[in-house]
Amino acid sequence: MKNVRTNGQRKRVFIRTYGCQMNVYDSDRMADVLRPLGYALSENPEQADLVILNTCHIREKASEKVYSELGRLRDLKVERRREGGDLAIAVAGCVAQAEGEEIIRRQPAVDIVVGPQAYHRLPELLARVARKSDERRFDGRRWPGAGVLDTEFPAENKFDHLPAPSEADVRAGSAFLSIQEGCDKFCTFCVVPYTRGAEYSRPAMAVLREAHALVAAGAVELTLLGQNVNAYHGEAADGSTWTLARLIRALAEIDGLARIRYMTSHPSDMADDLIAVHGEVPQLMPYLHLPVQSGSDRILEAMNRGHGRDHYRRLVDRLRGVCPDIALSSDFIVGFPGESDADFEDTMRLVDEVGFASAFSFKYSRRPGTPGAALGDQLADGIKTARLAALQSLLGRQQRDFNASKVGATVPVLFTEAGRKPGQMLGKSPWLQSVYVEGGAEMIGSIVNVRLLAAYALSLAGEVVTDQLPSRFEAAA
């Protein structure tokens, strides 16, 4: 089949998303922007007229993957043009923001480079590419490299120009809602303040409107997103400023919204009122992703984290004081420049003392332009590998123990998809564990009570029950 689409035929866009949940949300918004232009979603690049790579720049590996994917897309584009068709290639996300023009230099087949603050301008960028199609004629050897670029931080706010969310933005009863973007913390290892820009909170009423629309479209669970989500300070209708805690209380009033989550948080912004809502709002799930990065005060200082290990320990104690079953999750970086054996042991001890339900851990990756990249005493990869293995083995044991501690309990599970085996469904517990049961596709998007029967490293198995639940889950059940 020729991939030529003439007027009147539907066009297709394939969006590949790398990295964090902010990018998942952004990819959905890009699909929303393109829908009125006639673009339906494609399952693969082969059947698409437009491919968007929504990229991640957080670690070196994540950004290198983009260039190899672009090489494959170039080949596809060459083939398409040979057949008389075309393929537009766009790079969005944090690599687009960080590398800009360099992307087109390294891969001239790229048509559009668009930064995270300019997604509402995609239709205009596509129109510019269409106008330039003559200049971009491929002679079979060399691309003319006249791709268009938009990596500005525009004065207008993209959220005001993106279409309202629709049913397409709700997947199996769950939806993401971006409430905050950017970061002013400047941790010395991190590219986010440069790629996503300064901290910005969406107005509270805009968030509430979007939440109502998502619930009306079938969402029973909302995950509030932001690079620094607990720094949220959104303007309210009366001119006052709402904290994240205030916003969560307002969201909890929405009929039909059974589950609220938020990520990612910074320990320095874990305010008293936010800790309190964990004990008071039953819809707020007993789970918190609170990255600590390291357990060594010396390394935390070098990372410019703005908090020490004791502060983190105290936060954990207070959270457990108001919500004893809260599942804690974290991010860790091993092998930050100058990290000694003793520093790493401090991290292992902190993990031991806190006990995490799940965690992500990474080897330090030197990111150009960040202060960490310029530090002396960069560690050998072998040291990072060994430390990562030790840390992951401890965290893995903790995750298994946490899963095992829930066996025998009856808990509400939000079913999201079919499991790998026939007749099996997969859902999420309140603590964000994967739970498998026997069941049918009609369960997708609903919250069903499940008795947990067996625990594994990354999941639990259970059976559907109709018994009454313990009272704290009644609202969600």
> Does 364 sit near ligand 5AD (CB under 6 A)?
yes
Cβ partners under 8 Å of residue 174, min gap 6: 219, 220, 221, 222, 223, 414, 416
| Strand partners for 112 | 90, 148
**Total of residues contacting ligand 5AD (CB under 6 A):** 12
- Are the C-beta atoms of residues 40 and 10 closer than 8 Å to each other? yes
> Does 367 sit near ligand 5AD (CB under 6 A)?
yes
Q: Return the one option of ligand SF4, ligand 5AD, none that residue 183 interacts with (CB less than 5 to 8 A, by type).
A: ligand SF4
> Does 312 sit near ligand 5AD (CB under 6 A)?
no
Segment 51 to 80, residues that bind ligand 5AD, using CB under 6 A: 58-59
Neighbours of 474 (CB within 10 A): 11
Total residues found in the chain within this entry: 477
Q: Which is nearer to ligand SF4, 266 or 406 (CB)?
A: 266
Q: Return the one option of ligand 5AD, ligand SF4, none that residue 334 interacts with (CB less than 5 to 8 A, by type).
A: none
Q: Which is nearer to ligand 5AD, 195 or 410 (CB)?
A: 195
Q: Indicate which single residue of 50, 190, 300, 333 sits in contact with ligand SF4 (rule: CB under 6 A).
A: 190
> Does 331 sit near ligand 5AD (CB under 6 A)?
yes
> Does 170 sit near ligand 5AD (CB under 6 A)?
no
> Does 185 sit near ligand 5AD (CB under 6 A)?
no
Q: Hey, what long-range contacts does 323-328 have (CB within 8 A, 24 or more apart)?
A: 323/278, 323/279, 323/286, 325/286, 325/431, 326/278, 326/286, 326/287, 326/288, 327/286, 327/287, 327/288, 327/357, 327/358, 327/402, 327/431, 327/432, 327/433, 328/288, 328/290, 328/354, 328/355, 328/356, 328/357
Segment interacting with ligand SF4, rule: CB under 6 A, options 45-53, 93-101, 189-197, 398-406: 189-197
Q: Which is nearer to ligand 5AD, 180 or 293 (CB)?
A: 293
3-state secondary structure of 28: helix
Segment interacting with ligand SF4, rule: CB under 6 A, options 153-161, 181-189, 249-257, 352-360: 181-189
Burial (CB count <10 Å: 0-12, 13-18, 19+), residue 251:
buried
Q: Indicate which single residue of 362, 402, 415, 431 sits in contact with ligand 5AD (rule: CB under 6 A).
A: 362
Q: Which is nearer to ligand 5AD, 158 or 266 (CB)?
A: 266
Q: Indicate which single residue of 56, 192, 213, 300 sits in contact with ligand SF4 (rule: CB under 6 A).
A: 192
Segment 384 to 413, residues that bind ligand SF4, using CB under 6 A: none
Q: Which is nearer to ligand SF4, 59 or 185 (CB)?
A: 185
**CB of residue 350 vs ligand SF4: minimum separation in angstroms?**
17
**CB of residue 43 vs ligand 5AD: minimum separation in angstroms?**
28
Q: Indicate which single residue of 27, 174, 228, 358 sits in contact with ligand SF4 (rule: CB under 6 A).
A: 228
The pair of three-digit structure tokens given for residue 396, joined into one six-digit string: 């893995």
Q: How distant, in Å, are the alpha carbons of 220, 390, 400 from that of 386?
A: 42, 6, 21
3-state secondary structure of 263: strand
> Does 262 sit near ligand 5AD (CB under 6 A)?
no
Cβ partners under 8 Å of residue 341, min gap 6: none
Q: How distant, in Å, are the alpha carbons of 207, 251, 260, 455 from that of 254?
A: 12, 6, 11, 34
The rounded Cα 144 to chain-centroid distance in angstroms is: 35
Q: Return the one option of ligand 5AD, ligand SF4, none that residue 58 interacts with (CB less than 5 to 8 A, by type).
A: ligand 5AD
Q: Indicate which single residue of 190, 222, 323, 414 sits in contact with ligand 5AD (rule: CB under 6 A).
A: 190
> Does 56 sit near ligand SF4 (CB under 6 A)?
no
Q: How distant, in Å, are the alpha carbons of 291, 422, 470 from that of 340?
A: 21, 49, 47
CA angle at residue 288 from 253 to 166, to 5 degrees? 50
The pair of three-digit structure tokens given for residue 348, joined into one six-digit string: 């292992």
Closest residue by beta carbon to ligand 5AD:
331
Query: Which run of H or E residues covers position 106?
Result: helix 101-106
Query: Residues 72, 77, 80, 82: is their CA dihedral positive or negative?
Result: negative
Segment 266 to 285, residues that bind ligand SF4, using CB under 6 A: 266
What's the DSSP call for residue 469?
A: P
- Are the C-beta atoms of residues 125 and 114 closer than 8 Å to each other? yes
Q: Which is nearer to ligand 5AD, 85 or 306 (CB)?
A: 306
3-state secondary structure of 362: strand
**CB of residue 209 vs ligand SF4: minimum separation in angstroms?**
26
> Does 379 sit near ligand 5AD (CB under 6 A)?
no
The pair of three-digit structure tokens given for residue 318, joined into one six-digit string: 């207070």
**CB of residue 364 vs ligand 5AD: minimum separation in angstroms?**
5
Q: Which is nearer to ligand 5AD, 195 or 416 (CB)?
A: 195
Q: Which is nearer to ligand 5AD, 185 or 202 (CB)?
A: 185
- C-alpha to C-alpha distance for 393 and 281, rounded to whole angstroms: 34
Binding site for ligand SF4 (CB under 6 A): 183, 185-187, 190, 192-193, 227-228, 266
Binding site for ligand 5AD (CB under 6 A): 58-59, 189-190, 291, 293, 331, 333, 362, 364-365, 367
